[in-house]
Amino acid sequence: ARPRVGYFYAGKSANQLLGEHVRKLMVKDYKSLPIVVKEETSAYDAICTMFLEDVGTLFVVKENKQLAGVVSRKDLLKTAMGKQDLQTIPVSIVMTRMPNIVTCSPDDSLLDAAAKLMRYQVDALPVVRPMEDGDGVEVIGRITKTTITKAFVELGQHTDV
User: Which residue's CB is nearer to its own copies, number 103 or number 144?
Assistant: 144
Where does the chain show beta strands of DSSP type E?
Answer: 36-38, 57-61, 67-72, 96-97, 124-130, 137-144
DSSP, collapsed to helix, strand or coil, labels residue 61 as strand
Q: How far is the CB of 28 from its own copies (least distance, A)?
A: 17
- Does position 146 interact with its own copies (CB under 8 A)? The reply is yes
**DSSP symbols for 107-124:** TSBHHHHHHHHHHTT-SE
User: Which residue's CB is nearer to its own copies, number 17 or number 33?
Assistant: 17
* Binder of its own copies out of 38, 42, 49, 56 (CB under 8 A): 56
Question: Would you say 27 and 148 are in contact if contact means Cβ atoms under 8 Å apart?
Answer: no
Which residue stretch of 1-9, 60-68, 90-98, 126-134 sits at the interface with its own copies (rule: CB under 8 A)? 1-9
* Binder of its own copies out of 26, 39, 49, 73 (CB under 8 A): 73
